[in-house]
Every structure is written in structure tokens, then in C-alpha cells.
């Protein structure tokens, strides 16, 4: 909705027809006030956030532009008429014609969603992980050899975390706020989400990771 600067009355609502798989909670105007931009958790279906731009001060039809991995965190007008955006561990610039002229992803490691490809040796001296989400760009570190190796071959002694065991049923835990152990709720701190799980080798106890 676009509201009056005098009394906050409704002037008009931009056309959002077809936007149905996310939100447009981040908005800004172009530097000359002729275009309205919006983005948020709205994506193209493949995990890439889209920025919408309405012409005629938000009254016209919108055009979609690819930005970065979702969500969009913030939008700011560029002095040259385009847009600066940040989100999905990246930032970039769209020019006045909607072309992405600058784009920089985070150079830090992204360990998210790496549950099945985080491996460890039996004695705990060697671990394998991924620098990118879902375990992509894997690497292996040996504590005893003090060696980080990215030229990997499959080693049988590296195993995944145990996620199940006889007599120990852990449910509703993956990215959930209310995990259960043998049907009984496990209390987390307010706002925490369970993100990882490992059952000890003796199968008598377990560890949760939450934040």
C-alpha cells in the first residue's frame, strides 16, 4: 500500500497479482521517486530471491529481477537510479535498467543443511565437512596430522552421526521448536530451533544442537 504523506490515507496499492510464494516486506523508492522496489522471501521457485519494480511511482506493472539466495534483507536506492540490495549472504547492485552490475556472495563458510555429509572418524581425530550449504565443496581435517585436505577420496572409517537407536525414538526435531524423545516433549529455550542430532556410540544418550 502507498499512503499519503499528509494524513496516511490510502492512495493506491501496487499490483501484486501472481506473487503467491513469499512476502515483499522490504521496500524502497528509486532515487528520483519514479519506481517502487520490493523484495523479501519471494523467490523464483529455485531458491533465488526476486526483486519487483513498479513503474509510474508504483501504479504501473511490475518487472521481476533476480537478486540472490533468499531472503532479501534490505533495499536502498542507488544515486544513479538503480538499487542496492543485500540478503542471502550476499549483496549487489541493480542499475536503472534492472541489470545486476555488481554481485558479491559471502566468502565465509556456510555449514547449513550438512547433516548427512558431516563425517567423523571413530576416535574423533578426523572430521569431514563442506564449505558450502548441503555439504558442497568438501574438506577434511586431521587433528593428529594438522592437515586440511580438499583432494578427497572416500574413506570407510569416516561415518555419519547416528540418528536412531533401539529404544530411543527422537522425533519432530529437524528445524523444529518442539522435539520429542520417546513421545515426550523436550523443552528448548524460547525461540530456539533444533538443528542437529547425534546419538552416542553406546546408544544410551544423545546430543542436540539448537539455536
Residue 101 has pLDDT above 70, yes or no: yes
Q: What percentage of the chain exceeds 90 in pLDDT?
A: 30
Instruction: Check: pTM over 0.75? Answer yes or no.
Output: no
Q: How confident is the model at residue 153 (pLDDT cuts 50, 70, 90)?
A: low
Domain ranges of the chain: 2-105, 109-160, 161-211
Q: What is the mean pLDDT of residues 68-78?
A: 91
70 Cβ contact partners less than 8 Å away, ≥ 6 residues apart: 22, 41, 42, 43, 47, 48, 49, 87, 88
Least confident of 27-36, 149-158, 194-203: 149-158
> Residue 165's CB: how many other CB atoms inside 10 A?
16
> And the C-alpha cell for 184?
515426550
Whether pLDDT at 192 is above 80: yes
Beta pairing class for 62-69 and 158-159: unpaired
Q: Which of residues 123 and 75 earns the better pLDDT score? A: 75
Averaged over 70-75, what is the pLDDT?
A: 90
Amino acid at each position: 500500500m502507498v499512503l499519503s504523506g499528509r494524513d496516511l490515507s490510502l492512495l493506491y496499492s501496487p499490483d501484486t497479482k501472481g506473487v503467491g510464494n513469499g512476502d515483499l516486506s522490504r521496500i524502497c523508492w528509486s532515487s528520483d521517486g519514479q519506481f517502487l522496489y520490493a523484495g523479501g522471501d519471494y523467490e523464483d521457485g529455485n531458491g533465488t530471491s526476486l526483486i519487483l519494480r513498479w513503474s509510474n511511482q508504483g501504479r504501473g506493472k511490475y518487472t521481476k529481477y533476480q537478486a540472490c539466495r533468499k531472503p532479501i534483507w534490505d533495499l536502498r536506492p542507488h544515486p544513479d537510479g538503480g538499487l542496492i540490495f543485500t540478503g542471502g549472504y550476499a549483496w549487489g547492485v541493480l542499475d536503472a535498467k534492472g541489470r545486476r552490475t555488481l554481485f558479491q556472495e559471502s566468502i565465509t563458510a556456510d555449514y547449513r543443511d550438512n547433516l548427512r555429509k558431516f563425517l567423523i572418524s571413530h576416535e574423533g581425530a578426523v572430521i569431514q565437512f563442506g564449505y558450502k550449504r548441503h555439504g558442497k565443496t568438501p574438506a577434511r581435517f586431521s587433528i593428529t596430522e594438522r592437515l586440511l585436505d580438499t583432494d578427497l577420496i572416500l574413506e570407510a572409517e569416516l561415518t555419519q552421526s547416528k540418528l536412531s537407536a533401539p529404544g530411543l525414538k527422537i522425533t519432530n526435531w529437524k528445524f523444529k521448536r518442539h522435539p520429542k524423545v520417546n513421545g515426550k516433549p523436550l523443552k528448548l529455550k524460547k525461540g530456539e530451533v533444533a538443528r542437529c542430532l547425534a546419538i552416542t556410540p553406546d546408544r544410551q544418550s544423545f546430543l542436540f544442537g539448537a539455536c
